[in-house]
Structure 1
Amino acid sequence: MTFQPVTHLRHFALAVPDFERQRAFFRDTWGLTEVADDSGLAFFAAEGSPEQYVVRVRKDRQKRMDLVAFGAGSVADVDRLATELIAAGVALVREPGPMDTPGGGYGLRFFDPDGRVVEVSADVATRTHRRIEEREAIPVRLSHCVVNSRQPERLRDFYARHLGFRLTDTLYSDHMGDLMYFMRCNRLHHSFAIARGPHVSLHHASFEMRGVEEYMRGTGRALRAGTRLTWGPGRHLAGDNTFSYFHDPHGNTVEYTTELAILDEDLWHPGRHDVDDPMVQDQWGTADPMSESVAKDQFNDPDVLFTAPPV
Structure 2
Amino acid sequence: MMTDRLVSHLRYAALAVPNFEEERDFFVTHWGLSEAHGEEGLSYLAAEGSPEPYILRLRRDEKRVDLVGFGVRSREDVARLAEKLRAEDVRFVHEPRELTQYGGGYGFRVFDGDGRTLEFSTGYELRQSRKIREREPIPVKLSHFVYNSANLNETVQWYIDHLDFAISDSLVRPDGTDMMHFLRCNENHHSIAVAQGPHHSMHHMSFEMRSIEEWMRGAGKILRAGARMVWGPGRHNAGDNTFAYFLDPAGNTIEYTTELAVLDEDTWHPSRHDISELSTQDQWGTAAEMSELVARESFNDIDTGLFVAPPV
Q: TM-score over 0.5 for the alignment?
A: yes
Residue 44 of structure 1 is matched in structure 2 by 45
Find the aligned partners of 1:114 and 1:245 in 2 and give their Cα distance: 26
Cα offsets for 1:140-189 (capped at 9, x unmatched): 00000110111121111111121121110011002471011101111111
Deviations 1:92-143, CA, capped at 9 Å, x for gaps? 0111111112221111001001111000111122110000000000000000
- Number of the residue aligned with 2:63: 63
Mapped partners of 2:114, 2:226: distance in 1: 34
Task: Give the corresponding residue for 1:133.
Answer: 133
CA distance in 2, matches of 1:96, 1:176: 41
Aligned to 2:26: 25
User: Is the contact between residue 72 and residue 122 of structure 1 (CA under 8 Å) also seen in structure 2?
Assistant: yes
Deviates more, 1:132-141 or 1:93-102: 93-102
d(CA) in 1 for partners of 2:96 and 2:181? 29
Change (3 A) 1:24 1:176: farther
Report what 1:270 is aligned to. 270
1:122-161 alignment runs, 5 A limit: 122-161=122-161
State the one-letter code of the partner of 1:145.
F
- 1:36-115 to 2 correspondence within 5 Å? 36-60=37-61, 62-115=62-115
Instruction: With the length of structure 1 as denominator, give the TM-score of the two structures.
Output: 0.98
Q: Deviations over 1:249-272 (max 9, x none)?
A: 011010000000111111101111
Q: Partner of 2:310 in structure 1?
A: 309
The AA in structure 2 aligned to 1:278 is L
Deviations 1:269-303 (A, max 9, x none): 11110011000100110100000011101111000
Letter in 2 for 1:249: P
Partners of 1:81 and 1:162 within 8 A in 2: no
Q: How many residues align?
A: 310
Task: State the 1:78 CA deviation.
Answer: 1.3
Distance 2:162 2:71 in 1: 14
Instruction: Classify the secondary structure of the residue corresponding to 1:107.
Output: strand
How far apart are the structure 2 equivalents of 1:186 and 1:87?
Answer: 24
Residues in 1 aligned to 2:115 and 2:170: alpha-carbon distance in whole angstroms: 23
CA displacement at 1:31 relative to structure 2: 0.4
Q: Give 1:107's aligned amino acid.
A: G
Q: Which segment is superposed worse, 78-87 or 249-258?
A: 78-87
CA distance in 1 between partners of 2:308 and 2:101 (Å): 20
Cα distance in 1 for residues equivalent to 2:107 and 2:153? 27
Mapped partners of 1:265, 1:40: distance in 2: 42
Percent identity for Structure 1 against Structure 2: 57
Cα pair distance change 1:2/1:134, threshold 3 Å: closer
Gapped regions of structure 1 (runs ≥ 5): none
* CA apart distance, 1:3: 5.6
Structure 1's consecutive aligned runs of 4 or more residues displaced over 6 angstroms after TM superposition are none
- One-letter amino acid of the structure 1 residue matched with residue 203 of structure 2: H
Q: How far off its partner does 1:46 sit?
A: 0.4
Q: The residue matched to 1:216 in structure 2 has which SS?
A: helix
